[in-house]
Every structure is written in structure tokens, then in C-alpha cells.
Structure 1
Amino acid sequence: MNTGKHDEGRQPAAPVTTSDLLRSHRMRLGATQEEFAQAHGFSVRAYRDMENGGKISMANMYALRESLRMGPQARTQFFRLVTGDAPCLRGLTVDEGLARVTARWAEVHLYSHESPTVLMDGGWNVIHFNAAWAGLFDSVEPHPRDHPLDNPMQFCFFHPDAPRIFLDWKESWLITAMCQFAHHYDLNHDSEQLIEIRNRIAQAPLLESLYVHRVSAELTERGADRITEGDVSDRPLLVGKRPQGALLTVSIPWHAREYGYQLLTLSYPNAKAALPRATVLPPARRTRPDAGPGSDATPAPAGTTTNCPAPGVRARQDRAVTVGQLLREYRKRAGLSQEMLPRTADLPMTFRTYRKLETDKGRPRKEQVGPLARALSMPTSVERFLYTMVTKGDPPTIGVRGGPVVQGLTERWARDHVDDQSQKAPTVLMDGAWHVIACNDAYRALFRHVPADPRNHPTINGFRYVVFHPDARETLAEWYEQWAVPYLVEFGATLMRHRDAPHPEHLGLLSEIQADPYLWKIYRGRIHRELQGGGNAIGFEGDGDVRGMHLPIGGPGSDRAFTEVLVTAGMPLHGKAYGYQFCTLTLRD
């Protein structure tokens, strides 16, 4: 637990604590601890304890964010400090500023892709799609809300053409999609759109049965892994008039990672030859002329119905799986009684308190998730799923890189999103410690003038190049403000996520920063303020930023020319648990 105190002689696991954030925002309001507590319904003792590093409940976290008038960045950082990370799914809509960044992002990562590609928000509403995606679904009957150019998830669930195009519909497509929906629904239980989808599932016997039984079992057994399984998976579908195996890959735009945005790509051999000519229909033409808003002009897939509840369903099971159900199932597997478990897990709670957890009349605290998972012998993926259900935040990454299975997935993912055949702009994919996993020839050419360095070269480690390589200050225009500060902010945010158990490689980087007086001054000053919410940095990639580079006109040592680059970034879904990130530098004319 944070103490709110700093020891300059030691290496802090993170530059900001809950104490820092509360104190700085209270002082901006010009109030003492006593004045603030009395004005906002806290006891003086309770508020003083929270500001001095004591425990902060989720309810108090939300109340304090409002009372202290925190801005968006500070709100996110406060959530991160209290729960361990930023919100897993903050909401399903974004403001106009974020929409503009998304449009830039799509130009680089969607419209240039020859394979069918679609960008969706957290409710799977289509934001952008390319001509290949439209061509893939050219034969789909119009529908007011379930067309794949409007909402691919609702198409998969409810449109009668889905089983025809998504071959092996139930096993290869539907179950994974429903697991993702169940996850988003749990995180945004008040979303009107997700409530409507849940109601439509309840009206279809097949879908309701799968949701209550199969999806519940899948999430209980495999947890977070089942939700991310869609990335880098082989799927059968109908392309034109013939069956085709496709590789499905998923990318998360960095700037919209807290809003559930996903870029979905379907790649297969001879995509151009296989696809019918794309006919991109405007929204008005994708709706039947006689279909009014919200109507169901198209029936649901075979085996479902949209106008009657599932047989025997009265008080339906709203969520596919709850915290209580997960705890109860694994307690039974462990052969423990409710009375035994608190003692076994060494938790400071009575069995009556624990019983409330299993009946969903109470929730574990964030710090109790780990001990409970260990006592119940939960797999790591299930523990991460439980963590998200309890905190509504992403759990800290498992490590900075995955094992052989993840490596194999990453190699396939990179062929679709990094290699020169798929991404012409300079692109690099890095692990959770910013070591380069893959980069394309265009990226290598962009930095061919950089002197060789076994540790700090941009083709070896992106973070180390920006922060430590002397060439960075010459190549990267406005190095301090536009490159170093955002990178160091992202580094500090990473340490905050893992403040309880920082990764050794991150601590090694921190030691090197601390050994450099100039970098350490930046880190303890500017970066500290940014992470408190008092600045504007949004992460080391600066997704959607236009920045400058000074690039040699000829070979190394030649005169340099100023060039603008559009920086776009994101993460592959399968590498999210390890902090994998990609970055593309698109040179602008």
C-alpha cells in the first residue's frame, strides 16, 4: 500500500501515489484536509487516512474524482492507482477529438489494407471499413441494425445470413463472439445498447442457452484467454461462392484502448481474386425501405426466435458468469467449505463475509483477488478474468514477453500488420520492455543512418533509442517535448501498473534513468506532474500525433531535412497480457 512518502535515496516503483494525487488536487481547491472532508461528506479522520496512503474503496474513488474536480487524465490515473490500472472499458462512445484521431488511424491501418478490415467501437458499431470488407458481405440482405457494415457482432448473433457466410457458425464464430459480449456487458452493465443485445439474446432459445450454459462454462474454465482467443485464429467463411480459410487478427488502437475499439482483419490467399466487386452502400441503403427505426425486417438465424422468451426462463441469469459463481465453482473444485476458505487463503474475513462474496452480495477488494485465486488454484487466465470483474480495470501484465505459443501467434500477426507486403509505412512491434520483436524494411531504412548500438538502436529497443541513444536528440525534432516526455510518461505509467511487483527489466531501465542527472530531473519533475494529471502527455507513442524528424538527405553524415511523420500506435489483442505494442511512422508529404 502506498505511504505517500518518497525516499530520494531509493528507487521508487512509481513516481506518483494516491497521496500525491489527492493532495495536489485538494491544494488546487485551496482547502485544508478538514475543510475538504467537511464540505464533501467525509469524516476528517477517514479523508486524512486516505490522503496519507490508506485504503480507498471503489465508491470513494468515484466520489473523490468528482469532489476534487479531476480532469480526464487525472481520473484515469486515480483509477489506475486505486485498482492497479486504467479502466478496462471506460465507455462505448468517445468525443469528437478522439474521433478525429481515429480517422487518421484508419487511414494508416485500415484503408491501406487489401484484406477485409473493419474498425469497431466497444459496442461493435462500425466506425470505418474498407472496400474489401464491403465486398465480402456484398450478398448480405439489408437490415436496419444487424448488417455487417453496421454492427458485425449483431450480424453474427441475429442475421439469418450469418451461418451462411460464417461457416461452422456456432463453434468457430458464435461462442467466441458471445464470450466477448459477456465481458463487455459485465463491464458496461448500464449501456442501453448492450442491454438491448442482451434482451434479444434472451428472446432466442438457442442463443440464451449458449449464453447461460456454454459461455458461462467457457469463461469459468479459461477466463481472459477465452475473450482474447479471436486474435490470430483460423476461421472458415464463404468468400464469393466458395469456402475459404481465413486468418482473423485483432488490433487495438492505442488512443481508444479504454473504449473497447477493435480493428478486425480477415486475411486469406488470393483475397482480390476471391472477393466479388465491392459495393459500399451508404447506411440508408442497407435498410429495407419498409423497415422503420429499430424494426426487425429480417428474421433471426435458424433455431432462434425474436418474439418470445426462452422456455422456462423467468428470472433470467443476466450475466453469463458472476464473481460469486466463479468463486463458488473453484472452491468446490478445491474441496473447501465456505468456513475453511478464509483460513486457507489467509484472508482477514469471516466465513459469513466470504459467503456474501459467493452470493454476489459483496465483492472482494482488489488486494484480495490474488490470495483468493491462489487458495482456489485458479489458472492465471481465470485470475486475470476475476481481477477485471472485481476492479473493472485491466490486470497488470503477466510479464514483458510471452512464451513459444505467444511467439508463434505474434509471428503470424506480424505478417499481416508489420511486414512490407501488408504495411508500407515504417512499422515496429515491441514487447512489454520495448524490445523490438519485428519491424519492416521501411522502418529499418528510416533509421539506417543511426550508428550501430547493441542495446539502444531503434531496431533493437524503441524506448532505449529515444531515451539513451545520442542520435535521438539529433534525429527526433523537439526531442524533449515531442518524444522524450511522452516516452517517459508511458514508462512511468507502466511502473504504476506494476508498483506491487515491478518487472526486473523495468527496474533496470529506472536505474539507468536515475543514474543520468538530466533524465532523472525530467523524470522526478515533469513526468511526475504529467502522471498526476497536470499535463497533457498521453503515452509514449502519442497515437495520432504529427511530429518531426531530421532525416539525412543522402547517406549517413549528409545534410538533413525536416520531415513530418504521423505517429500511430496500438497493440495486438493476443499480446495485451504482455504489454506488446506496435508503432507506425507515416511520412507526410
Structure 2
Amino acid sequence: MSAGTYFDAGEQESTQSVAAEMQAKRLQEFLKGRRDHLDLSQEAVAERLDISARAYGNWERGRVKEWTDAKLYALAEALEMSEFQTARLFQYAAGRVPQPEVRTRLRRARSSTRESSAFLGDYTVMMDALALPTFVTDPAWDVKLANKAYRDLFRNVRFHPTAMPSQNFLRFGLFHPDAPSIFADHLKWQLAMLAQLSSSLEQHSEDNGLQAIRRDVYRHPALRDAYLTDMPAWVLGTGADLVHHEGAVRELRHPDPRLGLKGCRLVEETPRSLKSLGLMRLTLVLIDLDERIVPRSRGTHDHHAA
């Protein structure tokens, strides 16, 4: 390569750098001008965008790895820009024109999110009126909503960085050292939870949360052996998992001494509105242990009872 070629390449790189600096400067002046016109501080704009003031400062200086449509349209709304000003913003920040159909999709998505949040807020109020512990999870068993009775059940549980019952129901049952104090027949609960983990992974194999739980199971030799050997044999023998075998009664010890040791059925009762959001509602139905129903085979009831 000749010296002239090296010079041309260096000159081109320098020209591109200068152009990028000029573009960043134009963007900064444009955004600051809008801010000043609206009499807004950087902190106030950051609050509108739901980001930190430091992050917005980087936005205003053009220090953004990628200007996505979502970021640019959010910025345009935060600074109350007209369509013409929005087009200038796209040119200064990303060197392209805005796409109105993308903005329409983003607005619909935000509207749907707001409606979902409002619905879940109302649903939480309804759940708090229920006497039985009730909670709502996503496919990875992260607890999204829980009522007062659920919180009361786990009120004495010590802090754990990854396995709090308010965070993930499976993680609590499998990994929290206080789980046996609540789930009295803990080994049975663990088998059921390992079965549910396996079932959930079959349906959502790419879910990072479920994969992380399985990795943590494999790090505990006893749990790993139960997952690979005991649980499959248990499922084969009973056809049961944590949710769908609703007749199964396991023991649960409530911290309220008036309740104490109870039988517990875990019952799924998910309304269509929650299913549409990819959520599942579960209730811990507490019963007296002497009320447990033992299923009998056909033709064995009358003469055997006698």
C-alpha cells in the first residue's frame, strides 16, 4: 500500500470523526434548546423518560450505543416535539427519517401495558380480600402478585438473596433453609416442585429463569439426584405434579398457632384475563388433616367398610 493510500485512509477516518462530532453537537444544541424552551432541567426530562439524570445527560450529548425508534420517540414525547421537530431529532441522532407505523405500534404497546398494570392493581385488591393464601406467577414461577394471607404465611421467613417466597415459589421450596419449617413434609414438596420444574421446562425450554433454577438444582447433589432419579420414578408412579394433581394433600405448618399444622392442596384457578397475560393464579387451600380424602378403588367401598 502506498503512502498516498495510507494518507487517504487516515484523512477519511479523520473526516468521519469530525462529522460525528458535528452531528453530536447539533443534537446536543437541539435537545438543550427544546429543554430550555420548556423550562425543564435534565433531571425533569429524565423523570419523564423514567431514566437516571446521568443517563439522560449521555443522551443529550449523543453518547448512546444505538438510537432505537423506542428511545427516539420517547425522547420526542418527553420534549413535546412536533412532527417536524421529531423528524429533525431522527436526522440529528440517527441520520434517518422516522417511521410513523413504528410509533403507532409503540403507542399501542404502551397503552396495553398501562391497561394491564391497572387491571393487575385491581386484581391485587380483590386477592387481598381472600382468606386463603393466593399468588400469581409467570411461567418461570416468579411471584408477580400475592395477597395478605400469602404474605402472612411466610412472614417469619429469614432473608435469602435468591429464594424468597415473594420472589419465586419454586426457588423458595427448593433452596431456602426455612422452607421445611413451612412445608412440613418437605421431601414430598420438593419432589412435586422438581416435577413442576421439569414440566415447565418442557413448555418453556428457552426461559432463562427456569434454566437458572435447573442449574442451581444440579449444584446441590441431593437435589440433582432427586431430579434425575427420584422425581421421574415418582411421576411415573403417581402421574402427579405440583399443580395439576389437585387431589394431593401435603402438610403445611402455618406460623399462626391457631392454625398450626394443616393439610394443603395447591389449586390452580386462573381466569382468562390472567392467562392472556401469560400468568397463572394458585391458591393454597388449607384443610384439617383429618379431612383428607383418601380415594378408594371401584367396588371396594361397602363390604370393605363393614
| TM-score, L = length of structure 2 | 0.51
Tell me how far apart the structure 2 counterparts of residues 258 and 221 of structure 1 sit (CA, whole Å): 33
Among 163, 177, 183, the alignment partner of 1:146 is 163
Rate the CA distance shift 1:121–1:205 in 2: closer, same or farther, 3 A: same
Deviation at 1:243, TM superposition (A): 2.1
Rate the CA distance shift 1:208–1:222 in 2: closer, same or farther, 3 A: same
For the pair 1:206 / 2:194, whether they are aligned, the reply is no
Rate the CA distance shift 1:169–1:230 in 2: closer, same or farther, 3 A: farther
For the pair 1:252 / 2:233, whether they are aligned, the reply is no
Percent of pairs with identical residues: 25
Aligned residue in 2 for 1:161: 178
1:459-478 Cα deviation digits (max 9, x unpaired):
xxxxxxxxxxxxxxxxxxxx
Q: CA-atom RMSD, angstroms?
A: 2.9
Tell me how far apart the structure 1 counterparts of residues 232 and 247 of structure 2 sit (CA, whole Å): 23
Tell me how far apart the structure 1 counterparts of residues 182 and 243 of structure 2 sit (CA, whole Å): 22
Among 95, 98, 101, the alignment partner of 2:119 is 101
Partner AA of 2:120 in structure 1? T
For the pair 1:189 / 2:180, whether they are aligned, the reply is no
Tell me how far apart the structure 1 counterparts of residues 153 and 234 of structure 2 sit (CA, whole Å): 30
Deviation at 1:155, TM superposition (A): 0.2
- Pairwise mapping of residues 472-487 of structure 1 onto structure 2 (< 5 A)? none
Rate the CA distance shift 1:112–1:152 in 2: closer, same or farther, 3 A: same
Partner AA of 1:253 in structure 2? P
Partner AA of 2:168 in structure 1? N
Rate the CA distance shift 1:143–1:184 in 2: closer, same or farther, 3 A: same
1:118–1:128 CA contact under 8 A, matched in 2: yes
Alignment partner of 2:144: what SS?
strand
Among 126, 137, 146, the alignment partner of 1:120 is 137
Tell me how far apart the structure 2 counterparts of residues 179 and 141 of structure 1 sit (CA, whole Å): 26
Tell me how far apart the structure 1 counterparts of residues 162 and 147 of structure 2 sit (CA, whole Å): 19
Tell me how far apart the structure 2 counterparts of residues 193 and 144 of structure 1 sit (CA, whole Å): 15
For the pair 1:262 / 2:277, whether they are aligned, the reply is no
- Pairwise mapping of residues 1-400 of structure 1 onto structure 2 (< 5 A)? 97-108=115-126, 110-171=127-188, 173-220=189-236, 225-226=240-241, 228-240=243-255, 241=257, 242-257=260-275, 261-268=279-286
Tell me how far apart the structure 1 counterparts of residues 247 and 181 of structure 2 sit (CA, whole Å): 22
1:253–1:261 CA contact under 8 A, matched in 2: no
Deviation at 1:176, TM superposition (A): 1.4
Alignment partner of 2:270: what SS?
strand
Rate the CA distance shift 1:228–1:188 in 2: closer, same or farther, 3 A: same
| TM-score, L = length of structure 1 | 0.28
Deviation at 1:187, TM superposition (A): 1.8
Deviation at 1:207, TM superposition (A): 0.9
Deviation at 1:258, TM superposition (A): 6.1
Deviation at 1:230, TM superposition (A): 4.6
Partner AA of 2:220 in structure 1? A
- Pairwise mapping of residues 425-464 of structure 1 onto structure 2 (< 5 A)? none
Rate the CA distance shift 1:188–1:268 in 2: closer, same or farther, 3 A: closer
1:142-171 Cα deviation digits (max 9, x unpaired):
122211111121000100001121001111
Q: Which runs of 5+ in 2 are unaligned?
A: 1-111, 289-294, 297-306
Alignment partner of 2:269: what SS?
strand
Rate the CA distance shift 1:190–1:246 in 2: closer, same or farther, 3 A: closer
Tell me how far apart the structure 1 counterparts of residues 131 and 261 of structure 2 sit (CA, whole Å): 19
Tell me how far apart the structure 1 counterparts of residues 221 and 201 of structure 2 sit (CA, whole Å): 19
Tell me how far apart the structure 2 counterparts of residues 232 and 222 of structure 1 sit (CA, whole Å): 11
Deviation at 1:214, TM superposition (A): 2.0
Deviation at 1:101, TM superposition (A): 3.1
Deviation at 1:245, TM superposition (A): 2.4
Paired residues in the alignment total 177
Q: Which runs of 5+ in 1 are unaligned?
A: 1-93, 271-403, 406-589
Tell me how far apart the structure 1 counterparts of residues 195 and 114 of structure 2 sit (CA, whole Å): 30
Tell me how far apart the structure 1 counterparts of residues 120 and 234 of structure 2 sit (CA, whole Å): 33
Deviation at 1:183, TM superposition (A): 1.1
Tell me how far apart the structure 2 counterparts of residues 131 and 228 of structure 1 sit (CA, whole Å): 21
Partner AA of 1:179 in structure 2? A
Partner AA of 1:202 in structure 2? Y
